[in-house]
Amino acid sequence: MTAPLAGIRILEVGTMLAGPYATMLLADLGADVIKIEPPEGEISRQVSDSYFASLNRNKRSIRLDLNSQAGQDKLGELAAQSHALLVNLKPSAIRRLGLTYEALRRFNERIVCVAITGFGLDGGDDPAFDYVVQAATGVAALTGHPDGPPTLPGYSSADNSTGLAAALGLLAQVTSGRGGQVDVCLRDVMLSQLNYHASAYLNDGVEPQRRPFGAHSYYVPAQMFPTSDGYLALFITHDGFWKSFAAEANIDGFETMAERVARRDEVLAVVAGALASDTAANWESRLRPLGVPVAAVRTLPEALKATPEIIVSAGDFRLVANPIRIAGYQPEYRPPPKLGEA
């Protein structure tokens, strides 16, 4: 099967994570991604080879000093032959380097220019790294134990999520057949991902609160629980799940979600007591066949060992495969380019 994005050329002026992640996913699906790097190379090359590989496989590389006239001339040539350009830099740098639609439309009226920034192209140059944005948008305040400090997830959720949104915006505008500017910022993406929390506050005046063990605000029980060995994630979202779980755990009562929500503390105490009687692994093996949403908490190495099909080889690197699976198409995974390797 021909790659879904075969024939689509995308220029990337990306740094670190959000931008390179977006274009890597598109490259996996067949887009020709040309990574425009400064003469010394994109900064994430300095982090580690494996870090760079995790975000830049399946691309080509070109060294270009965009601060020079020669670099700007070459940028114009590339823009004339490309469907899109994606950049993640400060807004002032994006404009100064001519990486907007207004600057590039003279070379190609149909080019799509995607800007990933912290607070929008018109939002200023305040530093907007992933963890800073998580703190600023309420994510950190919702994470962790109520009696402990605000906590950050152990991975770059803002950068990764913004990369996905930027890839979606790029494809939407490319398929429209029109050129134009697409503006995606980390702040707005993270606020969007707090969707039902934001809606509850804006419409019902309900402020989100941090609950023990990451408990869900609407469903009970839906959280982590300690067991006799390890922690278990249990996610009961309707009465059918509860009926199956309660029968296996020898729990009586609380048959409707409304009752379980109204008697949250009582339900959680009963469930915690029942789950303490066995290990997380055993509860998973007991409940999964019943269709109950449940999982023992695993480390990343344990999860990768349990899911070998998600690991692919790109040259000498072992990486996580593209999560988008298209019937009849199998991506070819090439290693990340050396600096200037076309």
Annotated catalytic residue 130: no
Are 230 and 280 within 8 A, CB to CB? yes
- Written as one string, the DSSP assignment of 159-196 is HHHHHHHHHHHHHHHHHHT--EEEEEEHHHHHHHHTHH
Active-site option among 28, 32, 159, 183: 159
63, β-bridge pairs: 37
Torsion angle of C-alpha atoms 180, 195, 185, 15, degrees rounded to 10: -110
Cα gap 39→148, rounded to integer Å: 46
Q: Are strands 112-117 and 180-185 parallel, antiparallel or unpaired?
A: parallel
Give the chain's radius of gyration (CA, Å).
24
Cα gap 13→19, rounded to integer Å: 8
Spell out the alpha helix ranges (H) of 81-185: 91-96, 101-104, 130-136, 157-176
Are 86 and 114 within 8 A, CB to CB? yes
59, β-bridge pairs: 33
Spell out the alpha helix ranges (H) of the chain: 18-28, 49-56, 69-80, 91-96, 101-104, 130-136, 157-176, 186-193, 195-204, 239-249, 257-262, 264-275, 280-287, 300-306
State yes or no: cis peptide before 301, omega within 30 of 0.
Answer: no
Which two structure tokens, joined as six digits, stand for 48? 């580690």
**Residue 265 burial by CB count (10 A; 0-12/13-18/19+): exposed, middle or buried?**
exposed
Q: Which residues are catalytic?
A: 159
